[in-house]
C-alpha cells in the first residue's frame, strides 16, 4: 500500500505542477494581451500627434518643430503612454523628438549632422524639417512593427543616413521591417 500511496502522491504533485504551469502561462498571456491593447491605444494617440510631420506635407519650420516636440513630450507622460514604448521604439522616439529642437551640431546620427553642417538659412531650415519628417516616418514604421503590422517604410528607400539613425537607436536592421526594405530597395540620399 505504501508503494501505491507514493505513486498517487507523485501523480497528484505532477498534476498540480502542470496545472500551476498552465495557469501561470494563461495569466502571463492575459497580461501581455492587456499591455498590447494599451500599447495600441497609446500608439494611436502618438500617431495622431505626428500628423503635422507627415511626409505628404511641407517640411516643418522651427516653430512647427518646437510645437511638435512639446506635444510629443506631453504624450510621453500622459496616461503612462511613454512606458509602453518598446525598447527600439523608445530610443527612436527620444532621438527623433530631441532632434526636433536640438542645435544642428547635436543632431543624431552623425551623418545627418555632417550633411547639414554646410547649410545655412532657408536651406538649413528646409533640410531640418525634412529630417524631422523622415525620422518620424521611420518611427511610425517601427511602431507598426511593435504591433506586428509590417509594411515597407513610407517614402524614399532607406539610405545610409536612415540606417545610421536606426543603428544609433539600437534597432536591428536585419529584421522586419528593415531587412525587407534593405534587400529590395537602395537609396542614394543625393538623388
Q: What is the mean pLDDT of each run of 10 residues along the chain (191 residues)?
A: 78 74 66 87 97 94 98 96 94 98 97 97 98 96 88 79 97 87 44 40
User: Considering the domain boundaries, does residue 100 fall inside one?
Assistant: yes
Q: How many CB atoms lie within 10 A of CB 169?
A: 23
User: Considering the domain boundaries, does residue 21 fall inside one?
Assistant: no
- The conformation of residue 26, written as its DSSP 8-state character, comes to H
Task: With CA atoms as reference, report the closest residue to 146 among 18, 10, 47, 12.
Answer: 47
User: Considering the domain boundaries, does residue 121 fall inside one?
Assistant: yes
Q: Using an 8 Å Cβ cutoff, are 129 and 65 in contact?
A: yes
pLDDT at site 182: 45
Give residue 106's domain range: 38-184
Spatial neighbors of 93 by CB under 8 A, at least 6 apart, are 46, 72, 76, 82, 85, 139
User: Considering the domain boundaries, does residue 27 fall inside one?
Assistant: no
Domain count, the chain: 1
CB neighbour class for 172 (10 Å; exposed up to 12, middle 13-18, buried from 19): exposed
pLDDT at site 27: 60
User: Considering the domain boundaries, does residue 95 fall inside one?
Assistant: yes
User: Considering the domain boundaries, does residue 17 fall inside one?
Assistant: no
Amino acid at each position: 500500500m505504501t508503494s501505491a500511496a507514493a505513486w498517487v502522491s507523485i501523480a497528484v504533485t505532477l498534476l498540480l505542477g502542470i496545472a500551476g504551469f498552465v495557469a501561470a502561462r494563461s495569466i502571463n498571456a492575459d497580461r501581455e494581451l492587456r499591455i498590447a491593447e494599451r500599447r495600441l491605444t497609446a500608439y494611436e494617440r502618438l500617431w495622431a500627434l505626428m500628423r503635422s510631420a507627415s511626409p505628404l506635407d511641407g517640411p516643418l519650420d522651427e516653430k512647427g518643430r518646437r510645437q511638435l516636440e512639446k506635444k510629443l513630450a506631453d504624450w510621453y507622460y500622459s496616461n503612462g503612454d511613454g512606458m509602453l514604448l518598446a525598447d527600439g521604439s523608445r530610443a527612436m522616439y527620444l532621438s527623433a523628438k530631441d532632434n526636433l529642437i536640438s542645435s544642428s551640431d547635436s543632431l543624431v546620427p552623425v551623418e545627418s549632422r555632417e550633411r547639414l553642417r554646410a547649410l545655412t538659412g532657408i536651406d538649413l531650415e528646409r533640410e531640418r524639417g525634412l529630417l524631422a519628417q523622415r525620422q518620424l516616418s521611420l518611427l511610425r514604421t517601427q511602431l507598426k512593427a511593435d504591433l506586428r503590422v509590417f509594411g515597407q517604410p513610407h517614402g524614399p528607400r532607406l539610405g545610409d543616413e536612415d540606417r545610421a539613425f536606426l543603428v544609433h537607436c539600437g534597432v536591428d536592421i536585419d529584421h522586419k521591417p528593415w531587412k525587407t526594405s534593405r534587400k529590395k530597395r537602395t537609396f542614394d540620399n543625393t538623388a
